[in-house]
């Protein structure tokens, strides 16, 4: 199994395909296994690097809390360890926050940037509802499955959950089989809450695609509009009716937009 200690802790990663490098950055409590809908489309076109952020998956759980700039440094250390000078970068949710900081702190490493279902944080952000926030706070006394099920309404549309219960069960089973510890989840959540790129995103120099779903109940799509208004020359795509996990529920449309952007002139 491929690991590196380059970020200062044991980090798990995988490489799929050949071509120009494409780094995929996960969201809160997620790991490399969540890219199952992207790898079949991306790997034929790119050398796709997937990895587990600190605190999740098969990577170590250093003491928290974490910050998005520190997690961006982790990603940069991984690229350096792999001998990758420059890569396209795609981040979803918390991964999108990390990708923002990567493009700001390590601009020379980012060729094109995709920010999906994410937020600029701080005063520039449209906050999620209290119900959405509380759904992602885990308790030591809680059932792991109940914790996951509580998140579902904020990750998928009600219609999809009703019509595809097997897909929801598969998602829950995958997370339960490879759980994120309470410590890792809390430390990553602190990074998401503390993120604040805001107007600093005006310094992003990478060509940027900002993409979100119009029915995102966790990270309001207004956040993507705000990011696109700050990042110079950014392209904004809002997928009608898509939820927070648009890369899963609306994978075909999501992949099509991302590939058109990354492979375009």
Structural domain boundaries, residue 62: 3-263
| Amino acid 142: pLDDT | 83
Whole-model pTM: value is: 0.97
Q: Are 211 and 99 in contact (CB under 8 A)?
A: no
**Among 100, 114, 91, 117, which residue's Cα sits nearest to residue 222?**
117
Q: How many domains does the chain have?
A: 1
Phi-psi region of 85 (alpha: psi -120 to 50; beta: other; left: phi over 0): alpha
Predicted local confidence at residue 140, as pLDDT: 87
As averages over each run of 10 residues, the pLDDT of the chain (265 residues) reads: 95 98 97 97 98 98 97 98 98 98 98 98 91 90 92 97 98 96 96 96 98 98 98 98 98 98 96
Residue ranges of E strands in 137-248: 207-213, 235-239
Query: In this structure, what CATH number is given to the domain that contains residue 197?
Result: 3.40.50.1820
> Which is nearest to 49 in space by CA: 70, 18, 27?
18
pLDDT digits (tens, 9 = 90+) for 131-151: 998 999 888 888 999 999 999
């Amino acid at each position: 199994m491929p690991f590196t200690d380059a970020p200062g802790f044991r980090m798990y990663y995988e490489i799929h395909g050949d071509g120009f490098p494409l780094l995929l950055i996960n969201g809160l409590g997620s790991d490399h296994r969540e890219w199952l809908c992207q790898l079949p489309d991306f790997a034929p076109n790119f050398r796709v690097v997937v990895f587990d952020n600190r605190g999740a998956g098969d990577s170590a759980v250093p003491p928290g809390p974490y910050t998005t700039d520190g997690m961006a440094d982790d990603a940069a250390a991984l690229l350096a360890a792999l001998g990758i000078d420059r890569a396209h970068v795609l981040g979803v949710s918390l991964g999108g926050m990390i990708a923002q900081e990567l493009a700001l702190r390590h601009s020379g490493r980012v060729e094109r940037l995709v920010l999906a279902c994410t937020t600029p944080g701080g005063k520039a952000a449209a906050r999620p509802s209290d119900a959405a926030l509380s759904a992602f706070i885990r308790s030591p006394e809680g059932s792991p499955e109940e914790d996951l099920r509580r998140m579902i309404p904020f990750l998928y549309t009600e219609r999809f959950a009703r019509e595809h219960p097997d897909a929801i069960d598969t998602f829950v089973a995958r997370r339960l089989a490879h759980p994120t510890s309470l410590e890792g989840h809390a430390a990553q959540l602190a990074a998401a809450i503390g993120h604040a790129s805001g107007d600093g995103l005006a310094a992003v120099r990478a060509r940027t695609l900002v993409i979100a779903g119009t029915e995102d109940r966790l990270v309001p799509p207004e956040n993507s509009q705000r990011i696109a208004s700050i990042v110079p020359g950014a392209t904004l795509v809002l997928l009608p009716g898509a939820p927070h996990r648009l890369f899963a529920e609306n994978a075909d449309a999501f992949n099509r937009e991302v590939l058109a952007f990354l492979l375009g002139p």
